[in-house]
Amino acid sequence: MANNNPDETKKQPSTVYSWKNSSFVPFQNLTTLGAESWEHFMIGRQFFLAVANFGISRTMGSKSVIYRWSKRRKKFRVHQELVTYTARDLEHFKIEDSDYLVVANHEKRNNNKIDSVVYKWNIDIRKFELYQRIPTIGAYDWTHFTVDSYHFLVVANAFDGLSTRIDSAVYFWQKDKFVLFQTIETTGATDWEVIKIDKDLYLAAANAFNYGPQNIANKDPYKVNSTIYKLNIAKKQFEKYQSIETNSAVDWETFKVGNDTYLAVSNAQNDDIRDINKDKSIIYRWQGVEKFVPVHRLETFPAADWEVFRDDGNTYLIYANAKETTSQVYRVKLQ
């Protein structure tokens, strides 16, 4: 669990929980500094946790931290620190036999136009080393995906200093580096989710905030449509497929139950008393020609993140409470 209290200007503990007897119990506290997100991955037989630390200042760098599981101590220990700038996200991925970690740097000295960085694992020194810089604009999220044997990265660009309506970008791995594949207009994008249904691939953008000349009156800035795009293989581009009304969407999570594909959205600002979806998180189900249709409305606090996990044949959903200190776990019941 990434803990980030904007009112705190010092290090705060984030907590690793252990799943025991169908419930989570605290396992280990890790010192973080404005933790934004966590990434779990393996390299060989070693387990790692990496945290994107926002830091305490937008004008200076911070250190995001990679922890390695110690079999002897049975705890996560600091393995490596990376200098980052208001980091929002980390994404691990593999290409052939190599491991990479990409960091979303959001802002540096009040400038949102800042490079995000791809690191490559050096197996000789067992550390990540800088591999490639990619220009980003208020980057919030990186997502890696593959199409057949081809590798892609997509970045959610959120804000250029004047407007949240800017281009996010898809990159393609070519000749040992990432090159621009396509730009997609987004509005305060904070997350991309990859959805695979049969042979089709979709990208869902979570749009969080409508600010800038396109909304000069600043009317309902949190009510922003989030958009799903479908890959057109023949044209080699993503095309707009479906728009869904969201309330400051900051995360999409896809999962399957049986043969059905679902999407859960984290609405971070869903407390408008005029809205029928007040205090609700919505789960959508893929219904073919009807596309994604809302099928469940869960009574939740505004949510910052959804995650899915499975245990003993059961499927669970957990959401991170965006405004309070208690989050909840749901178990999916088959009907």
The rounded distance, in Å, linking the Cα atoms of 39 and 47 is 11
> Would you state the structure tokens that stand for residue 96, as one six-digit string?
């052939």
Confidence of residue 181 (pLDDT cuts 50, 70, 90): very high
> Would you state the structure tokens that stand for residue 139, as one six-digit string?
């980057």
Q: What is the pLDDT of residues 75-126, one digit of tens each?
A: 999 999 999 999 999 999 999 999 999 999 999 988 999 999 999 999 999 9
pLDDT of 205 strictly over 80: yes
> Would you state the structure tokens that stand for residue 149, as one six-digit string?
């044997």
| Contact criterion met (CB below 8 Å) for 66 and 48 | yes
The rounded distance, in Å, linking the Cα atoms of 156 and 136 is 9
| Residue 324: exposure state from Cβ atoms within 10 A (0-12, 13-18, ≥19) | exposed
**What contacts 50, CB < 8 A, 6 or more positions away?**
38, 39, 41, 64, 65, 66, 67, 90, 92, 101
| Residue 219: exposure state from Cβ atoms within 10 A (0-12, 13-18, ≥19) | exposed
Strand-strand pairing, 62-70 and 46-53:
antiparallel
The rounded distance, in Å, linking the Cα atoms of 139 and 158 is 6
- 194, 198, 244, 90 alpha-carbon torsion, rounded to 10°: -10
pLDDT of 132 strictly over 80: yes
pLDDT of 334 strictly over 80: no
Confidence of residue 35 (pLDDT cuts 50, 70, 90): very high
The single residue listed with the structure tokens 């993140």 is: 305
The rounded distance, in Å, linking the Cα atoms of 323 and 312 is 31
Instruction: Find residue 37's DSSP bridge partners.
Output: 52
- The type of residue at 208 is A
| Contact criterion met (CB below 8 Å) for 14 and 319 | no
- The type of residue at 231 is L
**Whole-number average pLDDT of the chain:** 93
Q: What is the pLDDT of residues 235-260, one digit of tens each?
A: 999 999 999 999 999 999 999 999 99
> Would you state the structure tokens that stand for residue 213, as one six-digit string?
């000349």
Q: How many CA atoms lie within 13 A of 318 on its CB side?
A: 14
| Contact criterion met (CB below 8 Å) for 168 and 186 | yes
Confidence of residue 65 (pLDDT cuts 50, 70, 90): very high
